[in-house]
Amino acid sequence: MQSTVKYAKSGDVHIAYRVFGEGPHDIVLIPGTTSHVELFWELPPNQYLLKRLAAFARVIVFDKRGQGLSDRVGEQTLEERIGDVLAVMDAVGSERATIYGWSEGGAMSLLFAATYPQRTAGLVLFGSYASMRAEPWRVEPNAFNAFLDILVRGWGQGVLVALNAPSRAKDEAFVQWWGRLERASASPGAILALFRANYEIDVRDILPSIRVPTLIIHREGDAMVPVELGRHLARQIPGAKYVELPGQDHLIQTLDQDLLDRMLDDIEEFITGTRRRQEPDRTLATLMFVDVVGSTERASALGDRRWREVLEEFFTVVRRELGVFRGREVKTTGDGVLATFDGPARAIRGACSIRERLRPLQLRVRAGLHTGECELLGDDVGGIAVHIAARVAAAAGADEVLVSSTVKDLVAGSQIAFVDRGAHELKGVPGHWQLHAVA
């Protein structure tokens, strides 16, 4: 997704923007706290979001004044901010667009839709709110100041992950990347001024006057912006459609693939009236079974309570590494996990990383990988490929990542080295299978 950074003039302020896609609909994305028109869109979930939206629309992204590549400014008003949206739309020749605002960008989006209905084809909000100071949220000044202290002291180190995405708080790679985004987005002083201004914003009174089609999306356990804020918006905006997604992370970037696609399907249908993405009933995937070696003996030695704690540590590590390597947990299997990956090399590296991360816990694991066509059974997968992956895992030794010859052939040129483990008969699977251990 290549796109040149350009600048629109809003009064005396230069607003950095980019345009992706050439679809018949226009979408303007209004970001939350962090904003950088180059770095922000390097994160894989953001790239995927762009590609899905650009498949049916022209997507316009920009940095709010004072952030990212836009001019640094002092105090700013909400009126000035929505003037920046108009300036960007005018610069790209957009007469009407769907305004898609996230989190802190919601108030801007709401005021723009109410003030410029003739320029607003629709309004989409994710994890947004009308006011921090008033019901149904009512963040007291002392609590808000305590939050600001945490925010500023941790700014640039990925503090927003701990505050907004509990499920990824221990994902070191993700936290480091987000810290880089924080530093590029704004200085600690600038972000402090922004949040203090946000605390004063209250757009509740304009909600009944919004007359454009509106879609509101919120997570039921949102750790930062309580779900009641999304429900309140839906009740106050006439005719608004409300969608509630499971989960507690506030960051849109931590939605798993299924939830991200579900959200994007809803947005596509909201904007175009149809859902073009067809749910396949079969797909090619790399399957990984990983389980604890000698689990029965360990459970007996440790006792039930301590063994449950050890298993929880095992699952925590596995899930964190799946997040890093873009794997999807399908299900747990007692003392193991079945996961799928969209790339065999990434699956191998993920399996090896899981093994290494578990060494300090004195847990020895084995992993088996196979790439093949799977049946999609809701959130589960089935078919012969799943059976093969399970049998490959069963043939692996302690601390071994064992793969089928299919996987080995698919990663040729990746510089991943293998040791030939010879031909094996896999129970219930016809023929002989050549297996290879990752060196």
Contact 85, 16 (CB under 8 A): no
Element (H, E) at 289: strand 282-292
User: Residue 279: its pLDDT value, please?
Assistant: 52
Structure tokens at 313: 């540590």
pLDDT string in tens for the chain (439-residue length):
678 999 999 999 999 999 999 889 999 999 888 989 998 988 888 888 998 999 999 999 999 999 999 998 877 888 899 999 999 999 999 999 999 999 989 999 999 999 999 999 999 999 999 999 888 888 999 999 999 999 999 999 999 999 899 888 888 888 988 999 999 999 999 999 889 988 888 999 999 999 999 999 999 999 899 999 999 999 999 999 999 999 999 998 888 878 888 999 999 999 999 876 555 567 889 999 999 998 888 888 888 888 888 899 999 999 999 999 999 999 988 889 999 999 999 999 999 999 999 998 889 999 999 999 888 877 788 888 999 999 999 999 999 999 999 999 999 988 999 999 999 988 877 788 999 999 9
6: helix, coil or strand? strand
User: Residue 406: its pLDDT value, please?
Assistant: 94
Contact 163, 155 (CB under 8 A): no
Pick from 261, 260, 230, 283: which is nearest to 103 by CA?
Answer: 230
> Taking the alpha carbons of 377, 379, 384, 390 in that order, is the dihedral positive or negative?
negative
User: Residue 277: its pLDDT value, please?
Assistant: 59
> Taking the alpha carbons of 121, 82, 163, 140 in that order, is the dihedral positive or negative?
negative
Q: Are strands 97-102 and 57-62 parallel, antiparallel or unpaired?
A: unpaired
pTM recorded for the entire structure: 0.65
User: Residue 431: its pLDDT value, please?
Assistant: 80
Domains assigned to the chain: 6-138+203-272 (3.40.50.1820), 282-438 (3.30.70.1230)
- Go through the chain and tell me how many residues it has: 439
Contact 62, 108 (CB under 8 A): no
Respond yes or no on whether the N-terminal peptide bond of residue 188 is cis (omega within 30° of 0). Answer: no
